[in-house]
A and B are shown apart, each in its own frame.
Chain A
Amino acid sequence: MGVNVEVREVTKQKLKGSGADVLIQSLKEQGVDVIFGYPGGAVLPIYDALHRNPIRHVLARHEQGAIHAAEGYARVSGKTGVVIATSGPGATNLVTGIADAMLDSLPLVVFTGQVASTVIGTDAFQEADIIGITQPITKHNYQVKNVEDFPRIIKEAFYIASTGRPGPVVVDIPKDISTEMFLTDFPQDKAIHLPGYQPTTNPNYLQIQKAIEALSTAKKPLILAGAGVLAAQATKELQTFVERHQIPVTNTLLGLGSIGGSHKLFLGMAGMHGTYTANTAICECDVLLNIGARFDDRLTGNLASFAPNAKVIHIDIDPAEIGKNVPTAIPIVADAKEALRELLNQSFESPDTIDWLQHLSANIVEYPLHYKADKERGILPQQAVELIHRLTGGDAVVTTDVGQHQMWTAQYYKFNHPHNWVTSGGLGTMGFGFPAAIGAQLAKPNDMVISVVGDAGFQMTLQELSLLQELRLPVKVVILNNQSLGMVRQWQETFYEERYSQSLIHVQPDFVKLAQAYDIQGYKVETMEEAEKVFAEAFASTEPALIDCRVVQMENVYPMVAPGKGLDEMIGVKGE
């Protein structure tokens, strides 16, 4: 490495303050306009600096709430979410959110307080080795050792979090480093010197040519679009490309919204609870173009029968994802937007897909998503989601946890716009959806934000109702209340001979009274008539609302690819 020349244009800025002051100043330089956090002993100097030099701070009621809110904010705004927590328990309470952001590639910079350098390693009060704890679940992490390193580390942290494949970066700050005086001039160092980190964003020309050749001669081409398309802000390019060449598209769970939910070339979501049409298209296609998806096991099912006839083209910014799960014929390491632009720049003959599209359209008609509504049984969760879709026209930002309610929302809510779908995909975190909705609402104050949650997941982070009350955020919380851990119950029904071990919840709080305790309008609905009226009323209001929507307990998510099975072995398909 001969290039270690530092390009520094040091301007004599008059910033003489503590490490904490420099930290806040650096955050302002990064354009940070909101911080999610929770103070404590080890970060008091930082909060004091924040008092002197304010940036909007959202005080969550639990650190997990803070970090999920930051994730929601990052997902919807495309900006990097910023979190501050204190040392020890504050930092460990963030671990779930950090792992969640890692698996779903969300840009976060997380500041954790640490005990003073002099006592690190002595099991001091509120000490936890957060660097060691978070090493496997971060894109990178730092412990600040010298106060002079603050400006550089913060610049690098934001750069690493938001470029390449986005991800969380932890910066651990010993208390004494925050209080130490920063004596040198604040550097205006524009250059970031990270010789070990140079993400490839532009596609290789020869590989693009190979992809074009494969696509133009394909009889049954298919595009699988993942969250990488959304992260790269490449939805317009995707739409132009598929329309120009008439190639059908399916989405991963996290890729929903990268193409309009009602687009004629969209086959619905693929994977474990994907549509019959999407999953069989994967089985039948001869060229599969994956853009920004990582072939997660919930998507592929049994790898042995995944896309058996297809030549796989994989575009991904992270070279380690290419070939990790599925053998790839044409690897293209690139940013999704750059790759799609390059594909659009090359004029090539469109494949003849008339028969293929006709076949797929026939499947869509013959094997649609289905459920059996029954007035006697009460509200079916699918009906509730369809109602939300009808009332919002597919324009709302929707957040969820993990489980049945998540899958029904993914299946029945058709997203018209990108960046409106916020869900915990990779880690499958209960308690994610509600705080994420708070972050999403802060990112898009004028949009309608609906948090569709299950009764169990909601109870993991419901203390954040305080934020709706405090900030009067007009988030609508819709609890699809089936008084159970729905997906656990469904699996016990299907794979454990109906032994419902600890999955049925007999005792619940009165959610309406709970909402009222937080000065939020609460509703309970038990029939579709009530639901129509209450949803319409709540959605029309500019105030927050909580709706306890009682749904049929024993309803299951179908169709389904059972664990270990292939996409060609779906169960619960209509028409079969």
Chain B
Amino acid sequence: MKRVITTTVLNQSGVLNRVTGLLMKRQFNIESISVGHTEQPGMSKMTFVVNVDNEAKLEQLLKQLQKQIDVIKVHDITDKAMVMRELAIVKVVSSPAVRNEIYTIVEPFRATVVDMSKNVTTFQVAGDPEKIEAFIDLMRPYGIKEITRTGVSAFVRETQKTHSEQLSIL
């Protein structure tokens, strides 16, 4: 099962290495990882997507991460209401003949042109990974020259849906 895990870490040198090294040592396969500064100085946040076989392994993963001295907080936010975004930059072959056609496809994805030459257009598109996959699939027939993706960043939404079963006790 795919899990989205966020960790808040102290900005010490080598902390990314520590976390990825731990995952490697414990045989977890990282699908994507993204890191960046947070609103607090000295703190960074990592978001990673990991494939985990079962609940016990997931629990072990979270506990092992929590054990790292430079790791402040660990959350598995997969089952929460969350905002999850990824950025992709895609270079598409776009001869003048098909350019307009491509633009009509791009529009609903709210992708923007960030570079252009005679026969190649570069788009940037942001959204959840499914949206980016869909965009890439639609661009593929025209000929994709290059793709680069950032990996997902995520956090939980401020308002979480409450389960009605819990309310039924009242």
Chain A residues packing against B (C-beta within 8 Å): 1, 131-132, 135-136, 139-140, 143, 145, 160, 194-197, 318-320, 323-324, 327
Task: Say which residue of B9, B59, B66, B69 sits within 8 Å of A194 (CB atoms).
Answer: B69
Does B170 sit at the interface, judged by CB under 8 A?
Answer: no
Given known contacts A320-B60, A323-B56, is B69 in contact with A1 (CB within 8 Å)?
no
Does B67 sit at the interface, judged by CB under 8 A?
Answer: yes
Q: Is the CB of A135 within 8 A of B63?
A: no
State in angstroms the CA–CA spacing of A135 and B14 once bound together.
9
| Chain B positions 51-68 with a Cβ under 8 Å from a chain A Cβ | 56, 59-60, 63-64, 66-68
Does B40 sit at the interface, judged by CB under 8 A?
Answer: yes
Binds A, one of B17-25, B85-93, B96-104, B159-167: B17-25
Q: Is the CB of B60 within 8 A of A323?
A: yes
Q: How far is the CB of A128 from chain B (nearest CB, A)?
A: 15
Q: Is the CB of B60 within 8 A of A131?
A: no
Q: List, in ascending order, chain B residues with CB within 8 A of A323's CB.
A: 56, 59-60
Q: How far is the CB of B43 from chain A (nearest CB, A)?
A: 7
Top 3 A-B pairs, shortest CB-CB distance: A320-B63, A140-B69, A196-B72
Does B128 sit at the interface, judged by CB under 8 A?
Answer: no
Q: Is the CB of A318 within 8 A of B67?
A: yes
| Chain B positions 28-53 with a Cβ under 8 Å from a chain A Cβ | 40, 43
Q: Is the CB of B71 within 8 A of A1?
A: no
Q: List, in ascending order, chain B residues with CB within 8 A of A196's CB.
A: 9-10, 68-72
Q: List, in ascending order, chain A residues with CB within 8 A of B60's CB.
A: 320, 323-324
Task: Say which residue of A1, A145, A327 sits within 8 Å of B40 (CB atoms).
Answer: A1
Q: List, in ascending order, chain A residues with CB within 8 A of B25's CB.
A: 136
Q: How far is the CB of B9 from chain A (nearest CB, A)?
A: 8
Closest residue of chain B to A199, judged by CB?
Answer: B67
Q: Is the CB of B21 within 8 A of A135?
A: yes
* Total inter-chain residue pairs, C-beta < 8 Å: 43
Given known contacts A135-B18, A320-B60, A324-B60, is B69 in contact with A197 (CB within 8 Å)?
yes
Task: Say which residue of B9, B10, B63, B69 sits within 8 Å of A319 (CB atoms).
Answer: B63
Q: How far is the CB of A130 from chain B (nearest CB, A)?
A: 12
Q: Is the CB of A132 within 8 A of B69?
A: no
Q: List, in ascending order, chain A residues with CB within 8 A of B18's CB.
A: 135
Q: List, in ascending order, chain B residues with CB within 8 A of A135's CB.
A: 14, 17-18, 21
Q: List, in ascending order, chain B residues with CB within 8 A of A194's CB.
A: 69
Given A320-B60, A320-B63, A323-B56, 9 new contacts (CB under 8 A): A1-B40, A1-B72, A135-B18, A143-B13, A194-B69, A195-B72, A196-B10, A196-B71, A320-B66
Q: How far is the CB of A7 from chain B (nearest CB, A)?
A: 18
Q: List, in ascending order, chain A residues with CB within 8 A of B70's CB.
A: 196
Q: How far is the CB of A136 from chain B (nearest CB, A)?
A: 5
State in angstroms the CA–CA spacing of A171 and B59 once bound together.
30
Can you list 29 A-B pairs, Cβ within 8 angstroms, ordered by A?
A1-B72, A131-B14, A132-B14, A132-B17, A135-B14, A135-B21, A136-B21, A136-B22, A136-B25, A139-B69, A140-B69, A143-B13, A145-B13, A194-B69, A195-B10, A195-B72, A196-B9, A196-B10, A196-B68, A196-B70, A196-B71, A196-B72, A197-B69, A319-B66, A320-B63, A320-B66, A320-B67, A323-B59, A327-B56
Q: How far is the CB of A64 from chain B (nearest CB, A)?
A: 23
Q: List, in ascending order, chain A residues with CB within 8 A of B72's CB.
A: 1, 195-196
Q: List, in ascending order, chain A residues with CB within 8 A of B14's CB.
A: 131-132, 135
Q: How far is the CB of B30 from chain A (nearest CB, A)?
A: 16
State in angstroms the CA–CA spacing of A196 and B44 once bound together.
13
State in angstroms the CA–CA spacing of A132 and B18 once bound together.
9
Q: List, in ascending order, chain B residues with CB within 8 A of A197's CB.
A: 69
Q: List, in ascending order, chain B residues with CB within 8 A of A139's CB.
A: 69
Q: List, in ascending order, chain B residues with CB within 8 A of A327's CB.
A: 56
Q: List, in ascending order, chain A residues with CB within 8 A of B66's CB.
A: 319-320
Q: How far is the CB of B145 from chain A (nearest CB, A)?
A: 35
State in angstroms the CA–CA spacing of A118 and B14 once bound together.
18
Q: How far is the CB of B34 from chain A (nearest CB, A)?
A: 20
Q: Is the CB of A320 within 8 A of B64?
A: yes
Q: How far is the CB of B11 from chain A (nearest CB, A)?
A: 12
State in angstroms the CA–CA spacing of A327 and B67 once bound together.
20
Q: How far is the CB of A108 from chain B (nearest CB, A)?
A: 16
Q: How far is the CB of B39 from chain A (nearest CB, A)?
A: 11
Q: How far is the CB of A411 from chain B (nearest CB, A)?
A: 33
Closest residue of chain A to B40, judged by CB?
Answer: A1
Q: List, in ascending order, chain B residues with CB within 8 A of A132's CB.
A: 14, 17
Given known contacts A194-B69, A196-B68, A320-B63, is B17 in contact with A1 (CB within 8 Å)?
no
State in angstroms the CA–CA spacing of A318 and B64 once bound together.
10
Q: How far is the CB of B14 from chain A (nearest CB, A)?
A: 6
Q: List, in ascending order, chain B residues with CB within 8 A of A195's CB.
A: 10, 72
Q: How far is the CB of A314 from chain B (nearest CB, A)?
A: 13
Interface centre among A132, A197, A320, A324 (most CB of B within 10 A): A320
Closest residue of chain B to A165, judged by CB?
Answer: B67
Closest residue of chain A to B59, judged by CB?
Answer: A323
State in angstroms the CA–CA spacing of A497 and B13 once bound together.
52
State in angstroms the CA–CA spacing of A160 and B64 once bound together.
16
Closest residue of chain B to A164, judged by CB?
Answer: B67
State in angstroms the CA–CA spacing of A132 and B63 once bound together.
22
